[in-house]
């Protein structure tokens, strides 16, 4: 398991170390987990991208309406009304169910790490916990996702 953590961390790092990049035996044992983690990262990235594109379109509409002076002070703010959480942008029902089951702290860690690109240290300062606690929360959450998909619990 220790190799698995090192390999995944090196696999997703921007500057991989050549001596830790590949070990055929361990790679074959962990290929499903690595593929899943890669899929999860891509899904979060694409969801983030769609979310910000949609948010920009909403802001552009509001700016246009504002420039025409149609909005009055007693109407509901369209940005607040139309703004959707990033969770509502997830199309995969299994991933949606898994994300909905997370605690607020787990969401903060995963969103901060994968979507906002923050380091573990930045997240730990934000949550006022140690870097090791952030790492532990992230790894346990990923293992929870892995077990949920691996056992097909989400399809029941």
User: What does the pLDDT look like over 24-79, one tens digit per residue?
Assistant: 666 666 777 777 888 888 888 888 888 888 888 777 766 655 555 554 444 554 44
Indicate if the alpha-carbon torsion angle 146, 49, 133, 21 is positive or negative. positive
Structural domain span for residue 134: 2-155
- Is the pTM higher than 0.75? no
Could you tell me the sign of the dihedral formed by the alpha carbons of 40, 46, 49, 53, in that order? negative
Which one is predicted more confidently, 124 or 41?
124
Distances (CA, A) of 15 to 2, 106, 149, 153: 20, 26, 29, 36
Q: How many domains are contained in the chain? A: 1
Q: What is the pLDDT of residue 80?
A: 41
Crossing angle (nearest 10°) for helices 2-12 and 24-68: 40
The answer to whether residues 154 and 94 touch, using CB atoms and an 8 Å cutoff, is yes
């Amino acid at each position: 398991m220790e190799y698995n953590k090192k390999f995944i961390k090196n696999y997703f790092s921007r500057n991989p170390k050549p001596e830790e990049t590949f070990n055929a035996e361990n790679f074959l044992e962990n290929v499903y987990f690595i593929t899943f983690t890669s899929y999860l990262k891509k899904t979060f990235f694409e969801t983030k991208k769609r979310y910000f594109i949609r948010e920009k379109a909403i802001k552009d509409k509001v700016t246009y309406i504002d420039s025409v002076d149609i909005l009055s002070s007693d109407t509901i703010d369209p940005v607040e009304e139309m703004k959707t959480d990033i969770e509502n942008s997830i199309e995969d029902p299994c991933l949606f169910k898994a994300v909905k089951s997370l605690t607020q702290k787990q969401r903060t860690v995963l969103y901060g790490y994968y979507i906002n690109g923050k380091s573990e240290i930045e997240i730990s300062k934000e949550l006022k916990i140690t870097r090791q606690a952030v790492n532990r929360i992230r790894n346990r959450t990923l293992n929870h996702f892995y077990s949920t998909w691996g056992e097909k619990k989400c399809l029941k």
